[in-house]
Amino acid sequence: MELKPNQVRLMMLQVADAIIVAEPMLSQADRDLGDGDHGLGMKRGMEAVKAQLEPMEAASVEQVFVATGTAMMTSMGGASGALFGTVYRAGGKAVAGREVLDAEGLALFLQAALEGVMKRGGAKPGDKTMIDALAPAAEKAKEVSGLPLEEALVAVAAAAEAGKEASKAMIAQFGRAKTLGEACIGFPDAGACSVTIMLQTMLSFVKAAD
């Protein structure tokens, strides 16, 4: 199973819808750690993504991902816009020239996304950020890059979920949550929740398309 550019476009529209529906949960996850604007920011970003992708004639996998990242970056503002925009822009550039999205392409996408976000935001695994879901997902994607896309995504989405769960035990090193110290233990990072939803939705799309 591999996705052609237009299937990647449809998959990202499904991801956008999933994030928009999850806004209350993401907002609550962010409120638990002191901010509260993550869900609304992600919703605004994904509405911009839909406006961008719905009329698009997708010529390449790269084009779909870069357009997604650009729409998020320009509509969201703030750290989330820059970081999630980087996920898709850096990830999209990493799959330039590839005709389809397969497990190998997914591994390239996630590795570039991770490197881009770490460089841009300065966080590392264990800091209670989106990286705590993205890093294990990228690592797992590399391990399973020889599998069919659906099997790879099963493993990758599970790795992201485990990373998000692990973030509950961490003390935040960034943002307003940093001021909470040990009071932030027990809550997952909101950005890690968003990463998990995105990957689980990609998996759902691929399962349905198979």
Q: Which of 155, 151, 152 is nearest to 163 (CA)?
A: 155
- Domains of the chain (ranges; CATH) run 5-209 (1.25.40.340)
The whole-model pTM stands at 0.96
**Mean per-residue pLDDT over the chain, rounded:** 95
* 46 Cα distance to chain centroid: 12
Q: Is the pLDDT of residue 194 over 80?
A: yes
pLDDT for res 177: 75
pLDDT for res 183: 79
Band of pLDDT at residue 165, cut at 50, 70 and 90: very high
pLDDT for res 39: 94
Please give the share of the chain, as a percent, with pLDDT higher than 90: 87
pLDDT for res 152: 98
pLDDT for res 78: 82
β-sheet bridge partners, residue 3: 101
Band of pLDDT at residue 37, cut at 50, 70 and 90: confident
Residue type, 45: G
Q: State phi, psi for 34 to the nearest 5 degrees.
A: 105, -15
Confirm if 102 and 149 have CB atoms less than 8 A apart: yes
Q: Is the pLDDT of residue 139 over 80?
A: yes
